[in-house]
Structure 1
Amino acid sequence: MKAQESTSAPEMMGHPKGLFYLFFAELWERFSFYGMKALLVLYMIKQLLFTDEMSFGVFAAYMSLVYVTPLIGGMLADKFLGFRKAIIIGGVFMTLGHLLLTIEMPVFFYGSLALIIVGNGFFKPNISTFVGSLYHKKDPRRDSGFTIFYMGINIGGALAPLLCALVAEMYGWHYGFILAGLGMITGLIVFYRGIKSGVFGNHGLPPSQEIYNQKVAGLNRGNLIALLSFLSVPLFALGIYLHHYEHFIVWLAAFLIVGVLVQIYLKSDKVEKSRLIVIGYLTMLMTLFWAVFEQAGSSLTLFADRNVNLIWLSAAQTNSINSLFIIALAIPFSALWAYLTRINRNPNSAIKSGMGLLFLGIGFLVFALSARDVDALARTPMFYLFAGYFILTIGELFISPIGLSKMTELSPTKYVSFVMGVFFSSSFFGHFFAGKIASLTALKKGEVNIFSEGFFGKITAWVTGLDYTQITTANVPGFEQLYSYVSVYAGFGVLMVLLGLLAIVISPIIKKLMGGIN
């Protein structure tokens, strides 16, 4: 982007000053997002009286679509809007979505989720890419800067479930949603102040002001994009409502993403082509990671509500545990990467991604192990919930912020926002499969999940100490539901450990394809 070639911008604490404005803007945007996310499944089950399976379906469709729209938002920012205008449009849409969610009518429920989906498409990829644009491609501060930025995400993610859930319990669900909306408004104000104070230099402007101002049907391109985005809201609302058919959207999205990447690949030089292969590989690993990790907010929230002896926190508030650990670990990890770089010992990104999957698997095995200390009421000690989330967090810090950083380095310059959108599509596909995994934990009369019998049944018995036949025969309240959770967690825990080890083994091959990027 011509408007972003200059790198002159004020600095603070050894980083571009604009990083800290983006840090706080993202903090408050994530406060709104995670505040609503923590309440959503419990709200559907307890207030709207949806079944577990329907709630998982709506939640998965919503969370999937939230992460597919960044592909479109990234392309529009690359070609027309620039990062600044895209972020503002996205923030306005998301604010409307959170506030309208307070109206308890189906049309507003699905419409509100759709507004957040469209808004996130503009906000999410472009604020992350904006961070990358503040650094030169080989700036050694880059990974450290993204880890600091990632901590901002998780401060918002930690505060939101605690406060929004508390407000929802004290005053009602709708007040919790209002508080989430106020968080989004705060994020917009912080970002706008950053623009006005000039901390971004000339970064984030439209790639061509002339193209942006061109009139189409009497509107300049920026206003036309905002109008068409608003008109798309009913389509996304319908997509959530018809969540049973989401697999068609998944296949369509996969076809479109691969098609565009192939076109970019054919136009690229030799080094860019090999890096695009790595982008696809890292995106697939992230998809696997999110598919299992994102039981948080769905099945793990219900597991906490039904089968964990909770102390101090409600089930909705347990969604803050992961973010609290990230806040505690982000700075140490940032310092660790910087130190390892100085002594030339920093593992390459392919190894880090494998480590992320490995720790993810271990974390879910810890959740499954909790069944060995179950009490007579089918409730497990809260210690295991904290320990599992702690290990998951280590895995997340190995794979997610580093992946964000690598996308901005590996991507051909003129496609950087689209490639960031591709990386975020891992969350789209991951949440789709996360919904399928969560549905395996729902009790269905006369049906047995695949982790209860055969080879996987033996793994479950080995990890959890529970025997499915004895549980169903005894018919003790709560134990069958507990088994449905821990059997799934044990099976996928073992699978992720094996895939993580495989990724580490093949990391030298991936490293060669990265063309000098670590």
Structure 2
Amino acid sequence: MTSTTKDATEQEMFGHPKGLFYLFFAELWERFSFYGMRALLTLYMVQEIFKALVERDAATAVVYASYGSLVYASTVIGGRISDKILGMRSSIFLGGVLMAIGHFVLAIENNVAFFLALAFIVVGNGFFKPNISTFVGSLYPEGDTRKDSGFTIFYMGINIGGFVAPLLCGWLATQYGWHYGFGLAGIGMMTGLIFFWSGIKKNVFGDRGMPPSKEIYEKKIIGIPQKILVPTIAVLTVPLIAYILSAYKAIAGGESFLGDQTYVSLIFKLIGVAIVIYMAMIMLKSTPDERKKLFMAILITFFMTLFWGFHELSGSVITLFAARNVNLTFLNASQTNALNSMFIIILAIPISLLWAYLSKRNLNPRTPYKFGLGLVLAGLSFYILALSGGSADENGMVPMIYLLAMYFIISVGELFMSPVGLSKITDLSPKRIVAFMMGVWFLSSAYAFQIVGFISKQLAIESTDANIGGLDTLAVYIDGFSLIAKYSLGAGIIVLIFGPLMKKLMGNIH
């Protein structure tokens, strides 16, 4: 171990490596920027970018889904580039700068600038997001029992950012204009980078996060060192991604040779086919025990994708529902995006204590039952929204308590599923393909946004009226929420029924 590593290890704060708290604040502010922008995005597109379109809800749904899919898919590519060439430090800086540029470009009132901004955030997130989480893990030696609590502290930063950002950015957007809200998100990203930079200057990370090989980092391709070539290519991909995001017939005008789908949906269909073929080949070469566990890992990924597909409607359909059909108190529609993070912060410790209490009595549910219950809870949350129609007034406005109850229940469902899913993928996957399965797991969030796009298009309202709402829109949303509830409840019940079989597939893994 080098002396720099030892020095960094010895620098502790509250019993953890000091570097954890610099990464905590860097991620808190990065998530502030991300969720602050996301809280405004759907409403901004409906009310400004596509306000002249009759199909503005549908166009918004397509862009939101494509953006979300690419944001999560980019992490797979960015993670690989970091592992092979840049290292975590350079990747985090590159990603942070690109995301900050994206947020600031959003403050420009121009449709071309809008799509370029989204593209900058897509590319930047690919470099930033996978590497900062990995950086946290690198702070702890192998087998360090503090690692789990360190990640708990780190993830609390994510949710603090996710809670505060919609409140502040949503308030600024309402009081002073959309672009002030987007601008604050950009300032948040820059603040995160400053924290990360100060940690490097104070040597709290030791020699961690450096490029895996200085020779590869400096290696010239077409006369350009890779440390310069990679950022250059990243910037050059921005216009291409911006075009892909905007290439939908309702946005670009006229008919598209893709029909009613987008470049992004076509790309993800092709990726999906390739993954299925590759998984089939792996299955054929696996031992019977590996095959069982791998099949269970695929099932976990599938059901998590379904859950996130319903959960991520919070930034699209549910935000529009809040704006058009909910009697909001103290919060505006964009600020309701803070409710999920608020409940996660409140509930995370009680639920983790619940699992510890049940474990001592050998009553802690196995993973399949937690997943089944999580999907049932997601279904119940949408069923509550569907019931809200019975309490609507003559203007089609429902009490806010239904929205609060929905977010509370789906947040409990998230805590049942999300914390255990990632660790179970690593446990169930054969060692030779763990990295590939982790990539598939991250892609599941990207595919979830394809579900979001499909549902959002089905619930799209055709109108150019900025103040649309009332009983007509309420009927569309209530019918949609009812159908989502049935699918989620049905999936949860199926998982619970087949829970004993899934336990056998998992073998000795809890």
What is the rounded CA distance, in whole Å, between the counterparts of 2:21 and 2:361 in structure 1? Answer: 27
The alpha carbon displacement at 1:334 in A equals 3.6
User: Structure 1 residues 384 and 7, CA, compared in 2 at 3 Å: closer, same or farther?
Assistant: farther
The alpha carbon displacement at 1:85 in A equals 2.3
User: Structure 1 residues 284 and 144, CA, compared in 2 at 3 Å: closer, same or farther?
Assistant: farther
Taking the TM superposition and a 5 Å limit, the aligned residue runs for 1:377-388 are 377-388=395-406
The alpha carbon displacement at 1:124 in A equals 1.6
What is the rounded CA distance, in whole Å, between the counterparts of 1:333 and 1:229 in structure 2? Answer: 41
What is the rounded CA distance, in whole Å, between the counterparts of 2:14 and 2:365 in structure 1? Answer: 25
Instruction: State the match for 1:291 in structure 2.
Output: 309
Q: Residues 139-168 of structure 1: CA distance to partner in whole angstroms, max 9, x if unpaired?
A: 665555444333221111111111001111
The answer on whether the counterparts of 1:150 and 1:330 sit within 8 Å (CA) in structure 2 is: no
Q: Residues 454-479 of structure 1: CA distance to partner in whole angstroms, max 9, x if unpaired?
A: xxxxxxxxxxxxxxxxxxxxxx9721
Taking the TM superposition and a 5 Å limit, the aligned residue runs for 1:22-37 are 22-37=23-38
The alpha carbon displacement at 1:355 in A equals 2.3
The answer on whether the counterparts of 1:167 and 1:176 sit within 8 Å (CA) in structure 2 is: yes
Which amino acid in 1 is paired with 2:81? L
Instruction: State the match for 1:208 in structure 2.
Output: 213
What is the rounded CA distance, in whole Å, between the counterparts of 2:6 and 2:436 in structure 1? Answer: 21
The answer on whether the counterparts of 1:74 and 1:417 sit within 8 Å (CA) in structure 2 is: no
1:423 and 2:441 matched: yes
- Name which of 210, 217, 232 aligns with 1:227: 232
User: Structure 1 residues 316 and 498, CA, compared in 2 at 3 Å: closer, same or farther?
Assistant: same
Which amino acid in 2 is paired with 1:233? V
Instruction: State the match for 1:501 in structure 2.
Output: 493
User: Structure 1 residues 405 and 89, CA, compared in 2 at 3 Å: closer, same or farther?
Assistant: farther
- Name which of 322, 325, 343 aligns with 1:307: 325
What is the rounded CA distance, in whole Å, between the counterparts of 2:204 and 2:431 in structure 1? Answer: 22
User: Structure 1 residues 380 and 123, CA, compared in 2 at 3 Å: closer, same or farther?
Assistant: same
Q: Residues 411-445 of structure 1: CA distance to partner in whole angstroms, max 9, x if unpaired?
A: 66787665444322112111111111012222359
User: Structure 1 residues 357 and 257, CA, compared in 2 at 3 Å: closer, same or farther?
Assistant: same
Segment drifting more, 208-217 vs 332-341: 332-341
1:389 and 2:407 matched: yes
What is the rounded CA distance, in whole Å, between the counterparts of 2:100 and 2:43 in structure 1? Answer: 21
The answer on whether the counterparts of 1:74 and 1:418 sit within 8 Å (CA) in structure 2 is: no
User: Structure 1 residues 136 and 211, CA, compared in 2 at 3 Å: closer, same or farther?
Assistant: same
What is the rounded CA distance, in whole Å, between the counterparts of 1:267 and 1:130 in structure 2? Answer: 34
Q: Residues 113-161 of structure 1: CA distance to partner in whole angstroms, max 9, x if unpaired?
A: 0010011111122223333444577766555544433322111111111
User: Structure 1 residues 267 and 153, CA, compared in 2 at 3 Å: closer, same or farther?
Assistant: farther
The answer on whether the counterparts of 2:8 and 2:17 sit within 8 Å (CA) in structure 1 is: no
User: Structure 1 residues 292 and 168, CA, compared in 2 at 3 Å: closer, same or farther?
Assistant: same
What is the rounded CA distance, in whole Å, between the counterparts of 2:281 and 2:81 in structure 1? Answer: 17
What is the rounded CA distance, in whole Å, between the counterparts of 2:145 and 2:391 in structure 1? Answer: 46
- Name which of 439, 442, 456 aligns with 1:438: 456
1:41 and 2:42 matched: yes
User: Structure 1 residues 61 and 363, CA, compared in 2 at 3 Å: closer, same or farther?
Assistant: same
Segment drifting more, 277-286 vs 143-152: 143-152
The alpha carbon displacement at 1:204 in A equals 3.3
Instruction: State the match for 2:253 in structure 1.
Output: none
Instruction: State the match for 1:482 in structure 2.
Output: 474
What is the rounded CA distance, in whole Å, between the counterparts of 1:15 and 1:513 in structure 2? Answer: 37
SS of 1:282's partner is helix
User: Structure 1 residues 151 and 414, CA, compared in 2 at 3 Å: closer, same or farther?
Assistant: farther
- Name which of 103, 106, 110 aligns with 1:98: 103
The alpha carbon displacement at 1:276 in A equals 4.4
The alpha carbon displacement at 1:76 in A equals 1.5
SS of 2:313's partner is coil
The answer on whether the counterparts of 1:143 and 1:402 sit within 8 Å (CA) in structure 2 is: no
Taking the TM superposition and a 5 Å limit, the aligned residue runs for 1:247-326 are 247-258=265-276, 276-326=294-344
1:153 and 2:171 matched: no
| Structural RMSD (CA) | 3.2
The alpha carbon displacement at 1:381 in A equals 0.5
Identical counterparts, % of pairs: 51
User: Structure 1 residues 314 and 355, CA, compared in 2 at 3 Å: closer, same or farther?
Assistant: same
What is the rounded CA distance, in whole Å, between the counterparts of 2:429 and 2:134 in structure 1? Answer: 11
User: Structure 1 residues 45 and 477, CA, compared in 2 at 3 Å: closer, same or farther?
Assistant: closer
1:218 and 2:223 matched: yes
What is the rounded CA distance, in whole Å, between the counterparts of 1:201 and 1:278 in structure 2? Answer: 39
1:89 and 2:57 matched: no
Instruction: State the match for 2:62 in structure 1.
Output: 57
User: Structure 1 residues 325 and 39, CA, compared in 2 at 3 Å: closer, same or farther?
Assistant: same
| TM-score (normalised: structure 2) | 0.85
The answer on whether the counterparts of 1:27 and 1:187 sit within 8 Å (CA) in structure 2 is: yes
The answer on whether the counterparts of 2:324 and 2:469 sit within 8 Å (CA) in structure 1 is: no
Taking the TM superposition and a 5 Å limit, the aligned residue runs for 1:112-151 are 112-134=117-139, 144-151=149-156
Structure 2, unpaired ranges of 5+: 249-260
- Name which of 111, 116, 121 aligns with 2:116: 111
The alpha carbon displacement at 1:187 in A equals 1.3
Which amino acid in 2 is paired with 1:34? Y
What is the rounded CA distance, in whole Å, between the counterparts of 1:336 and 1:198 in structure 2? Answer: 39
Which amino acid in 1 is paired with 2:132? I
Which amino acid in 1 is paired with 2:163? A
Segment drifting more, 299-308 vs 102-111: 102-111
The alpha carbon displacement at 1:407 in A equals 4.4
Which amino acid in 2 is paired with 1:431? F
What is the rounded CA distance, in whole Å, between the counterparts of 1:324 and 1:208 in structure 2? Answer: 42
What is the rounded CA distance, in whole Å, between the counterparts of 1:436 and 1:154 in structure 2? Answer: 27
Structure 1, unpaired ranges of 5+: 446-475
The answer on whether the counterparts of 2:64 and 2:453 sit within 8 Å (CA) in structure 1 is: yes
What is the rounded CA distance, in whole Å, between the counterparts of 2:137 and 2:279 in structure 1? Answer: 21
SS of 1:20's partner is helix
- Number of aligned pairs? 485
The alpha carbon displacement at 1:495 in A equals 1.6
The answer on whether the counterparts of 1:309 and 1:382 sit within 8 Å (CA) in structure 2 is: yes
| TM-score (normalised: structure 1) | 0.84
The answer on whether the counterparts of 1:147 and 1:331 sit within 8 Å (CA) in structure 2 is: no
